[in-house]
Every structure is written in structure tokens, then in C-alpha cells.
Amino acid sequence: MPTIGLGTDKLVDPEKHPEVFFNAITKAKYRLLDCAAIYTNEALVGSAINRVLTTTEIARDSLFVVTKLWMDRFKEPEAALR
């Protein structure tokens, strides 16, 4: 797993940030995306990953998506991470 990743906090603009994610993966060669549900951008990140996988030669197993489990969600971790 890469040690340097793209932090996705604050990247929530549906008009410009999908392109930011796409370019980070394809041009800047980020392979680690640091995410969290509280950032509310799962759809944008997922859409960018889908675009990368369907329009480039980058394989899914070369991308790492990490997330966080907040302390208020410890009782239902599986549901929180879904």
C-alpha cells in the first residue's frame, strides 16, 4: 500500500472535484485515496474510480481506498463502513 495518499476532505463539489480525483489518479499517479463517510463525497470518489477503471489501463487492485470509523459508530462498525 502506498504511504502517500490523496486526502479527500473538502473535495465535495460535484462539478469540479470528480475531475480532481480523476487527474490525481491518472496524472499525479496517486494510488491511495484517504476517505471518510463524514466527508460526504463517497459518490464523487466512487464515480472517479469507476471512470478510471473504465477509461484507462489502471487496475482496481492497484488502488487503495481507506476510510475511518468514527468513535460514535463503534457499536455498529459493519453498518457504518458500508
Catalytic residue among 24, 25, 33, 39: 39
* DSSP of 11-78: ---TTTHHHHHHHHHHTS---EEE--GGG--HHHHHHHHHHHHHHSS--GGG-EEE----GGGTTSHH
Residue 39 annotated among the catalytic residues of the structure: yes
Match 474510480 to its residue by C-alpha cell.
Answer: 49
Active site positions, annotated: 39
